[in-house]
Amino acid sequence: MSYWGKKYVLGGEFIIVKILAVLPDFIPTEPVKQMVSQVLPDMAVVSSLDFEKNEAEVLVATTFHRLGRKELSKFPNLKYIQIASTGYDNVDLEYVKEKGIMLCNIPVANKQSVAEHVIAFILAFLKDLIFLNSELKERHNWPILTGSRDLEGKVVGIIGMGAIGREVARRLLPFGVSMIYHDVTRLEEEEEERMGLTYVELDELISSSDIVTVHVPLTERTKGMFNSNVFSKMKDGAIFINTARGEIVDEKALIDAVKKKGIRAGIDVYPNEPPDFTSELFRLDNVICSPHIAGVTIESQQRFLMETVSNVMRYVQGLEPLYRVLV
Amino acid sequence: MKGYELFSESVKSLHLLPMFGNPGTTELASLRGIDDYILTPYDGLAVAMADGLTQISGIPRIVNLHTSLGLGNSMGYIFTAKANRTPVVITAGQQDLRHIFFEPILSGDLIGMVGSNAKFSYEIKSADEIPEVMRRAKHEALTPPTGPVFLSIPMNVMDDVSSAGIPDEVRVDYSYYSEDAVEKVAKEFNDSKNPAVVMGWEVDLFNAFEEAEAFARKTGCPIYGESLPQRSPYRSESPYYAGDLLPATTLINLKLVGNDFILFVGGDITLYPYLPSPLLQGKKVAFVGLNIRPKIGDFYQMNVKEFLKRITPKVERKGNYHRQESYQRVSKAAREMQSIGTTYVMSRVKKIFSDYVIVDESVSASTVLREIVGYNPGKYFSAKSGQLGWASPAAAGMSMYNNKVLAIVGDGSFMYSVQILWTVKRYSLPVKFLILRNNGYGILKSYSTSYYPGMENKDYLSFTFEIEKIAESFGIESRVAGKDLQEMTWLREGENPKLLVVDVDRSIQKLFL
């Protein structure tokens, strides 16, 4: 197997960089190899980490392979891990820190996809699509009484105004909604005006919104932030959407809110993945679930690929890779 | 005749006028017989005006620079003329040679200074040789690969007396081709499994658009434009046009990943950001053209119009490419109305200025300009060197030949050559300026976000120029556009020079990997 990349530096000296890309085994490697042959021709592409030792200096991986101490110790020369994904939960951060390995992710490729998924959840609830679909297909009902609602005129509360929060706001503006937001850092007033956003405290956002969508990272501060106290302040029948991280929500509190306050929940992420399918969450009519796939589209995968290739090339050129998580 | 008379008569006989320049005392000796003179209040602008007029008219023009200092001020513009392959004759005065030993002020090694940026450079030694040197200068400029030439004209030579005659006009035949070479390229094309064709600026230079379209129709291949062309490489309305290559090895490789033979016709490979992918590795590559100098592959020096005419009957059909209609532009433009995004602005330009020559120095908006406004025969020009400050004077020069010329220039770029407004006003040139004001160097900010994140916030990459007021101070009518861009219609009206500032979206575009 050849996996010798070339790093060209000033003065014309060639420094050898060894690059290994490990793809999930469900991705056909041949088209990737053809592309790689034109981009970084000597980068090796494999589907498994089932080998004893590898000399690679750069490891490109997705979240589909566990990169624990056992796996990473097969790479004695490893200096840089590039995860082709936003998440990097599969990487043993302690080991990476201990060895001084640089770790980068790609946090910019799926914001559009997640934002569209949020809109899909909202419209599915407001237009009663799940109910109407089953009434027609399973019970052949016609006509059907429904509580279908317009998005226009609703108050949408966006928690977290990072890259994804902004994409959601940008897409919602033409629907004729009112948008309020909360974040630890407030936007510049000019930007708020341009985006049609009003900044409010969290409590006000929770109690004023017809739709609440969460876009905060998982931190000690946000872990379990949606508890029974918060849900109790939401409007009855409000829509709650979580495409961020499962641990942000107390699942039991959510189930209670769905049952007692008629909260409708669009859930893409779970505290444990795959989730516990015996949970009542999966039996509630007012809950629409998706399998942590909000950011996964054909288009976003293409963006991940290009951003990943770009970042590895920055390293090969002697530049600083972007999106450094560690070191 | 005296030297200055031989000089002015030679210039007239070789049809090099008007002369563009910014003279000093050193040049007065040579200018006594020259009346058709366009003054630019900064030296380099004279080169760009001559470059523009030469390109659009196909007739080489002459430039008069003020000795070492004027030449030094003009080097960027001469470099651009070289990159553009524009056959301009550049002259500069030299101090009186009778005391050159003492290195009088303004004297200098002009030939050394112009260096490799001129394809031919010479310091005139006597009045006797003025006619033949002038003739040779034009001849050298016009010989492929065409480009700027330089003459140093010592003051004392202008008062020498000579019986030399006036030179005849220069003639250069560009129609050459080789039947053998055409056969060879046709065979390579036919033997390939999946060829791709890249057309370049010489398609416009030799007006080979019909031949290029016939070739595309016959082969069914997608036709790409060369990256960052200085002139239209192909009609972008054609269903065979598949967009331009991008100026980086990785991006070119990805675009052509499935092709085994790449034929460049009248264009070359242009790169800017270094990327480590080896270019077109493992593929057969051939170039055909007259003025290009390819770095890889095989090269066949031929006139592209003649080549395309002759190869088309010999090539086999290789595909059924037909570009899918894109409905994206109209929707995207509508989305960008509020923020005055470049897609919105360029959509309006396309509608209002469809019959205009576009001179593009919109830099960070250039990709959108070329995509939306598109390429048409004789209707697109840009500086191949990447120079800022070229388009405004070049457009002014072009407007001496065509009264429908629109320069689309960023605010940062415009300030490089703002003095051109004086020349435009002084000579009533009908050029129109559309200034895209994003209050900063958008391209640098974009590059920063890709390679040196954080640098985009450096204060020296942002600025505010009240260009509308600057234009007024030169006596040029100017306005700032509202969000509906109605002022574009005002900009088009009339033949007097006008300037319109559009405050475009300032967000940083992703233009690099």
Active site residue A273: yes
Q: Are residue B147 and residue B39 in the same domain, yes or no?
A: yes
Give the residue from B252, B259, B277 with the most A CB atoms within 10 Å of its CB, the best one to mutate. B277
Q: How far apart are CA A71 and CA A51, in angstroms?
A: 9
* Nearest one of A44, A62, A64, A57 to A109, comparing CA atoms: A62
| B168, burial (CB in 10 Å: exposed 0-12, middle 13-18, buried 19+) | exposed
Complete domains list, chain A, with CATH: 4-109+298-326 (3.40.50.720), 111-289 (3.40.50.720)
Q: How far is B227 from chain A (nearest CA, A)?
A: 18
Domain of residue B426, CATH code: 3.40.50.970
Using omega within 30 degrees of 0 as the cis cutoff, is the peptide bond preceding B313 cis?
no
Q: Does B451 touch chain A (CB under 8 A)?
A: yes
Mean pLDDT over the full length of chain A:
91
Q: Are residue B457 and residue B355 in the same domain, yes or no?
A: yes
Active site residue A166: no
Assigned token pair, A325: 């998580």
Q: State the first-to-last Cα distance of chain A, in angstroms, to the nearest integer.
A: 30
Q: Establish if B168 belongs to a structural domain.
A: no
Residue located via tokens 């050159």? B100
Q: Establish if B322 belongs to a structural domain.
A: no
Residue located via tokens 């509360």? A157
Residue B47 contacts residue B30 (beta carbons within 8 Å) = no
pLDDT of residue B327: 81
Q: Establish if B509 belongs to a structural domain.
A: no
Q: How far is A27 from chain B (nearest CA, A)?
A: 19
Q: How far is B269 from chain A (nearest CA, A)?
A: 16
Q: Establish if B174 belongs to a structural domain.
A: no
Nearest-10 crossing angle of helices A298-317, A111-126: 160
At B462, which amino acid appears? Answer: S
Helix (H, G, I), strand (E, B) or coil at B21: strand
- What tens digit of pLDDT does each residue of A120-162 get? 999 999 999 999 999 999 999 998 888 899 999 999 999 999 9
Q: Establish if B25 belongs to a structural domain.
A: yes
CB contact under 8 A, A306 and B250: no
Residue B92 contacts residue B66 (beta carbons within 8 Å) = yes
Q: Are residue B199 and residue B56 in the same domain, yes or no?
A: no
Q: Are residue B217 and residue B301 in the same domain, yes or no?
A: yes
Q: Establish if B360 belongs to a structural domain.
A: yes
CB contact under 8 A, A194 and B339: yes
What are the residues facing B20 on neighbouring strands? B38, B63
Q: Of B314, B338, B373, which residue is a domain's last?
A: B314
Q: Are residue B358 and residue B265 in the same domain, yes or no?
A: no
* Active-site entry in A152, A273, A299, A320: A273
**Residue in A34, A41, A194 nearest the CB of B281:** A41
Q: Are residue B76 and residue B143 in the same domain, yes or no?
A: yes
Q: How far is A172 from chain B (nearest CA, A)?
A: 13
**Residue in A6, A37, A320 nearest the CB of B276:** A6
Q: How far apart are CA B418 and CA B430, in angstroms?
A: 16
Q: Are residue B488 and residue B341 in the same domain, yes or no?
A: yes
Q: Are residue B119 and residue B209 in the same domain, yes or no?
A: no
- Find all residues with CB under 8 Å of B428, minimum gap 6, and list them: B496, B497
Q: Are residue B147 and residue B24 in the same domain, yes or no?
A: yes
Q: Establish if B457 belongs to a structural domain.
A: yes
Task: Give mean pLDDT, residues B294-315.
Answer: 97
Give the residue from B249, B250, B337, B340 with the most A CB atoms within 10 Å of its CB, the best one to mutate. B250
Taking CA atoms, B447 is separated from B96, B249, B365, B410, B438, in Å, by 48, 17, 14, 16, 16
> Domain residues for B255?
179-314
Length of chain A: 327
Q: Establish if B169 belongs to a structural domain.
A: no
Q: Are residue B441 and residue B480 in the same domain, yes or no?
A: yes
**Residue in A8, A310, A316 nearest the CB of B513:** A310
Q: Are residue B68 and residue B193 in the same domain, yes or no?
A: no
Q: State the first-to-last Cα distance of chain B, in angstroms, to the nearest integer.
A: 62
- In B226-265, the residues whose Cβ lies within 8 Å of chain A are 250, 253-254, 257
Helix (H, G, I), strand (E, B) or coil at B501: strand
The tally of domains found in chain B comes to 3
Confidence of residue A13 (pLDDT cuts 50, 70, 90): very low
Helix (H, G, I), strand (E, B) or coil at B298: strand
Most distant pair of Cα atoms in chain B: their distance: 71
CB contact under 8 A, A41 and B278: yes
Confidence of residue A15 (pLDDT cuts 50, 70, 90): low
Domain of residue B275, CATH code: 3.40.50.1220
Q: Are residue B17 and residue B93 in the same domain, yes or no?
A: yes
- What tens digit of pLDDT does each residue of B432-448 get? 999 999 999 999 999 99
ipTM, interface predicted TM-score of the complex:
0.77
Give the dihedral of Cα atoms A264, A268, A269, A273; nearest 10 deg: 120
Q: Of B262, B283, B314, which residue is a domain's last?
A: B314
* Nearest one of B287, B91, B319, B87 to B217, comparing CA atoms: B319
Assigned token pair, A93: 């951060």
Q: Of B314, B338, B364, which residue is a domain's last?
A: B314
pLDDT above 80 (res B389): yes
At B44, which amino acid appears? Answer: G
* Nearest one of B397, B352, B402, B354 to B375, comparing CA atoms: B354
